[in-house]
Amino acid sequence: MKLSAFSVVDEYPSPDGAPTDRVREVVGLAEAAESAGLSALWVAEHHFHPGGVCPSPPVLLAACGARTRRLRLGALVSVLPFHRPIDVAEEYALLDRLLGGRLNLGVGSGYLPTEFEGYGVDPAGKREAFETSLATILAAFAGEPIRVDGERSVPVRINVRPVQQPHPPLWVAVQRREAVGHVARRGLSIALVPYATVADVAELAAEIREYREQLPAGARGEVAVALHLYAGPSPARAREALQRYLDSRLAFQSAFYKEKVAHDPRHARAETLEASGFALFGGAEEVATGLRRFADAGVDEVVGLFDFGGLPPAEVHASIARLGAAVRSA
């Protein structure tokens, strides 16, 4: 099982009121992840709220790529209904060129009402928009002719194609259980954020089994799962940061998480998330041992949320270094 880092690029006031620069902190996070031997760094795309201050993953990932040599770099996710497919195809193809073929591409249909309202996009049509956009992007990556504006435009081919052919490795983010089979039947890899949707590791394992059972014969889809991780001497500080993070998810209308909390308010508390197994805090060996449950559940890659809730960068980097060393020696 691979271990990677994942930043939502969430922003919080510093304790002393000094300004923070989260996007530059993420570049430092990439350097720390590479030094620790992690597989990849992923960043989220968000708009219009401090719960995520990276509106353009390709720009941030290009900066990370300039400071790393081995680390794979990915978007988790590019929100397809918010963008023209031609723009997504060209930007990520160029990014894969800049990275020398190190791009991971996650795609999704979006889930935050604030963002749909800001873009003026009707969420009722997001799945159709996602499917149309994804088909166009994959055709563009493969060098096929596409139309930028439907029948009103002439067919064109993008003039910069990705290094990885026919396209960079692709993951689809899934929040609703009923979407798992749809992604599996297409033979695509899947990205899951279990704290927002399922109750415990056993339910996650059942979801992964359902995914594996519906993959086409010969397909090798991968399962990436996001977990909150902290390896160090101050787990109490990590729990405080996790509570800030969960409070922010509710404040910024994270629809799936709000639905889970409405069903059982205990899921709004950090201790509940830790008890479920989706947050692993403690010494490096203890956290590394906790990760084995996810390998047993069928997870191919844990994308660790290390920099959550305003944890200081130095503490985040130390946590990554400790856990990376513990995983390598296990």
pLDDT in tens, 275-314: 999 999 999 999 999 999 999 999 999 999 999 999 999 9
Residue 197 has pLDDT above 90, yes or no: no
Q: Which residue has the tokens 């993420």?
A: 26
Stated pTM of the model: 0.95
Query: With 80 as the cut, is the pLDDT of residue 18 above it?
Result: no
pLDDT at 14: 76
Confidence of residue 267 (pLDDT cuts 50, 70, 90): confident
Q: Is cis: bond before 193, omega within 30 of 0?
A: no
CB 73 within 8 A of CB 103: yes
170 contact partners, CB below 8 Å, separation of at least 6: 105, 106, 107, 188, 189
Does the pLDDT of residue 29 top 80, yes or no? yes
What is the pLDDT at residue 43? 98
pLDDT of residue 54: 97
**Confidence (pLDDT) at 234:** 95
pLDDT of residue 104: 98
| Annotated domain spans of the chain | 2-329
* Residue 230: pLDDT over 70: yes
Average pLDDT across the chain, whole number:
94
Task: Give the per-residue pLDDT at 319.
Answer: 98
pLDDT at 96 > cutoff 70: yes
pLDDT digits (tens, 9 = 90+) for 127-181: 999 999 999 999 999 999 999 987 788 999 999 999 999 999 999 999 888 899 9
Q: Which of 167, 174, 97, 163 is CA-nearest to residue 135?
A: 167
**Does the pLDDT at position 121 exceed 70?**
yes
CATH tag, 2-329: 3.20.20.30
**Alpha carbon distance 140, 302 (integer Å):** 30
Question: Beta-strand (E) ranges in 243-305?
Answer: 279-282, 301-305
Token readout for 189 is 């890899």
- In this prediction, residue 253 carries a pLDDT of 65
Annotate 196-227 with DSSP letters as a single string.
GT-SSHHHHHHHHHHHHHTSPTT----EEEEE
Strands, E assignment, 84-169: 103-108, 146-147, 155-156
Task: Return the pLDDT at 153.
Answer: 87
Give mean pLDDT, residues 235-254. 89
- Two structure tokens written together for 15: 């304790």
pLDDT at 119: 97
Q: Which residues pair with 2 in a beta bridge?
A: 301
Residue found by looking up tokens 């084995």 in the block: 292
Q: What is the mean pLDDT of residues 56-78?
A: 98
| 198-217 residue pLDDT tens | 889 999 999 999 999 999 99
Identify whether the C-beta of residue 171 lies closer than 8 Å to the C-beta of residue 106.
yes
- Number of Cα atoms under 13 Å in the Cβ half of residue 199: 7
Which tokens belong to 252?
């910024």
Taking residues 42-48, report their average pLDDT.
97
